Amino acid sequence: MTIFEHLEKRPCPVCGAKRAHARVFMSASYDPRRLTGASFASRKAPEFMSYRLLRCRGCETVYAAAAPPAALLAEAYAEADYDSSEEAALAADTYAAALAPVVAALPQRGRVLEIGTGTGVLLQRFLDAEFREAVGIEPSAAAIAAAAPAVRGMIRKGVFVESDFKPCSFDLICCFQTLEHVADPRALALSCARLLRPGGVLALVTHDYAAPLNWLLGRRSPIIDIEHLQLFCRSSLNWLLRDAGLGSREIRTLVNRYPLRYWLRLTPLPGGMKRAVGGVFASLRLDRARFGFNVGNLLAVGRKPG
Ligand SMILES: [Zn+2]
């Protein structure tokens, strides 16, 4: 893959401030020879590679000082492996529970859009919550192939393009664990705001680089990832929603409930030790039990006025 040969310098992708208005957050560490098809897959084993990261003094977003062009990223994600069906279902449980009060307060449950839908697990949950129509967007052919037959037809292959949809045509737009991966998150938020009906809600789930766990792990945190072109915190998410004209903003911590063996996979332990600890968990029948942790994820919602 030659994606690193084409890096383009960029300003803050949330507030647009110049790079001179940012300080260094982390030096670059990546090795093109270690890149595989899995490097652009969701929920892979951590590789601990990153671009040179800056932290904006204005909106506090952490962002790659130079990143691959959007077209090359779209190609990388189209060819990405997909290996997380079970984890996707577990994450969907967490998201559906967190969204329930937001959905209950919507003026109507007409159409819902999910950007970066993966295997479309959440689309089925939206239909279960009595939305009339659910649409997902996903670049990875492997993810769509792994989708359940009942939802596969609701997934459009590719990356999000505003002009594919009518303005003011969605009641809810979700972008979960995807915003770190897109070339221009500010443009995405503005597009979503235009596609929402008045009273409609944009819901975002991102990592929180300012969460205690991520500070503790530093460069060994799973959020330090060559796929992540930017990292958010409460301040940067609030900036993004406010800039898009969305009100009634609420940003809160998400508690993810996953099996122990999944948490183990995310830890920075060496592979041999992970297998040993995993064996102990399995022998105690603890590997499938679910435990809730604050791993530093944020849910941010904003409502279109009117
Ligand atoms: Zn900024």
Residue 27 lies in a domain: no
Q: Give me the tens of pLDDT residue by residue for the chain, a chain 306 residues long.
A: 567 778 899 999 999 999 999 999 998 887 766 666 566 665 555 567 888 999 999 999 999 999 988 888 888 888 887 766 677 788 888 899 999 999 999 999 999 999 999 999 999 999 999 999 999 999 999 999 999 999 999 999 999 999 999 999 999 999 999 999 999 999 999 999 999 999 999 999 999 999 988 888 888 888 888 889 999 999 999 999 999 999 999 999 998 777 777 777 767 778 888 888 788 778 777 766 776 777 789 999 999 998
Give the number of residues written for the chain.
306
Cα 106 to ligand 1 centre (Å) = 30
Distance 272 CA to ligand 1 centre (A): 41
For residue 173, give its domain range: 78-303
The residues that bridge with 247 in the sheet, in sequence order, are 303
- 22 C-alpha vs ligand 1 centroid, how far in Å? 8
DSSP string, 176-208: ES-TTTSS-HHHHHHHHHHHEEEEEEEEEEEEB
**Domain-embedded: residue 18:** no
Q: What is the CATH number of the domain that holds 132?
A: 3.40.50.150
Domain contains 1: no
Q: What pLDDT, on the 0 to 100 scale, is given for residue 134?
A: 98
pLDDT for 245: 98
Any domain includes 54 = no
Overall number of domains in the chain: 1
Distance 21 CA to ligand 1 centre (A): 8
- Let me know if residue 49 belongs to a domain: no
Task: Report how far ligand 1's centroid is from the alpha carbon of 153 (Å).
Answer: 38
Q: Classify residue 142 as left (phi > 0), alpha (psi -120 to 50) or beta.
A: alpha
Helix axes 185-195, 234-243, angle to 10 degrees: 50
Task: Report every protein residue that has its C-beta within 5 angstroms of ion ligand 1.
Answer: 12, 14-15, 17, 56, 58-59, 61
Using the mean position of ligand 1's atoms as its centre, give its distance from the Cα of residue 59 in Å. Answer: 4
Q: What is the DSSP string of 22-49?
A: EEEEE--B--GGG--GGGGSTT------
Query: Does residue 68 fall inside a structural domain?
Result: no
Contact 203, 254 (CB under 8 A): no
176 lies in a domain? Answer: yes
pLDDT at 91: 85
Assess if residue 13 is contained within a domain. no
